[in-house]
């Protein structure tokens, strides 16, 4: 591992992810709740938002990589925490800044590469959709299973996903919640490459071939002109987003999603997940 660079700005303190610097100009963020399949709680969302803000601000860094410890990349939101808020008066967890994991709605300046080592579900999949490049292990699985839990895909993925994979494929993911393989996601254009490996889930992060591939690509990017990378990235984003993606997300969250907040089926889906049973849906009054 490369020696830690001298920072102009100190890195944020993190409890739920590990920050390392395995190559010059490269930040590696490892989601580190392996027993919980790296689901992200409200405090973790705040942490990650601060990390990506720091990446953009810190001049010694040019590229970020995000991966997960253990067998999952990220299984989405911490539904146990969410369930607890349904039992008392605790405010519902909310996204900050760049959305889920600080990434699902992030605009930012510097590129972030996702090295998907395993499960990428719900919010974890939403992070992937908005990453700049995505490399996946063959065992990686992607899904938006929110409809199975009675909750919504609210972190920004849907307007972005439809532009990447097309209406019918986006509908399939959003409405069925089915698992999609890394190979299929590559054929859809979400994944840049599937990195063949024989790594076990407990392989150390830096020894994983998918992380090594992400580091290789990050090295290529970091070797280029930093300002050219930032400006060229913005040009691609303008062509992809135009003025529609964030506006689409705002309309979805404000006009449609707000009608579902605190609904009985949302609470039931989360409760059933925690209790490990099938949910009993009620006919919604929309």
Q: Which of 218-222, 233-237, 260-264, 281-285 has the highest mean pLDDT?
A: 218-222
Q: What is the pLDDT of residue 254?
A: 62
- Tens of pLDDT along 88-108? 766 655 666 789 999 999 999
Beta bridge partners of 67: 30
- Tens of pLDDT along 25-65? 999 999 999 999 999 999 999 999 999 999 999 999 999 99
Q: Checking DSSP bridges between strand 141-143 and strand 26-31, what pairing results, if any?
A: unpaired
CA 110/CA 107 separation, integer angstroms: 9
Q: Which residue has the higher pLDDT, 119 or 261?
A: 119
Decide if 97 contacts 76 (C-beta within 8 A).
Answer: no
Q: What is the mean pLDDT of the chain?
A: 87
Say which CATH architecture domain 17-198+223-275 belongs to.
Alpha-Beta Complex (3.90)
Q: What is the pLDDT of residue 198?
A: 81
**Cα angle at 52 between 49 and 114, to 5 degrees?**
105
- Catalytic site positions: 77, 123, 126, 146
pLDDT exceeds cutoff 70 at 258: no
CA 228/CA 148 separation, integer angstroms: 43
Model confidence at 269, in pLDDT bands (50, 70, 90)? confident
- End-to-end Cα separation, the chain, in angstroms: 54
- Tens of pLDDT along 128-154? 999 999 999 999 999 999 999 888 888
Question: How far is the CA of 76 from the CAs of 39, 122, 143, in angstroms?
Answer: 5, 5, 10
Q: Which residue has the higher pLDDT, 86 or 161?
A: 161
């Amino acid at each position: 591992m490369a020696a830690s660079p001298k920072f102009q700005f100190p890195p944020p303190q993190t409890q739920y992810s590990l920050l390392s610097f395995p190559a010059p100009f490269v930040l590696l963020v490892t989601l580190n709740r392996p027993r919980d399949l790296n689901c992200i709680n409200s405090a973790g969302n705040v942490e990650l938002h601060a990390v990506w803000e720091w990446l953009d601000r810190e001049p010694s860094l040019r590229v970020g990589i995000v991966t997960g410890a253990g067998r999952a990349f990220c299984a989405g939101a911490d539904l146990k925490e969410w369930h607890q808020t349904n039992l008392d008066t605790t405010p519902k967890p909310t996204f900050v800044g760049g959305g889920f994991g600080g990434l699902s709605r992030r605009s930012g300046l510097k590129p972030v590469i996702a090295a998907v080592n395993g499960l990428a579900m719900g919010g974890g999949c939403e992070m992937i959709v908005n990453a700049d490049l995505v490399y996946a292990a063959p065992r990686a699985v992607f899904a938006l299973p929110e409809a199975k839990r009675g909750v919504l895909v609210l972190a920004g993925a849907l307007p972005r996903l439809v532009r990447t994979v097309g209406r019918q494929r986006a509908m399939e993911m959003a409405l069925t919640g089915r698992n999609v393989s890394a190979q299929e996601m590559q054929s859809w254009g979400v994944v840049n490459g599937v990195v063949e490996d024989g790594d076990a889930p407990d392989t150390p992060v830096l020894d994983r071939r998918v992380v090594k591939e992400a580091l290789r690509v990050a090295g290529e990017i970091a070797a280029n002109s930093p300002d050219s990378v930032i400006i060229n990235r913005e040009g691609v984003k303008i062509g992809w987003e135009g003025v529609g993606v964030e506006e689409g997300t705002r309309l979805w969250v404000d006009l449609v999603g707000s009608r579902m907040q605190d609904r009985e089926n949302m609470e039931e889906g989360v409760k059933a997940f925690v209790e490990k049973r099938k949910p009993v849906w009620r006919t919604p009054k929309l």
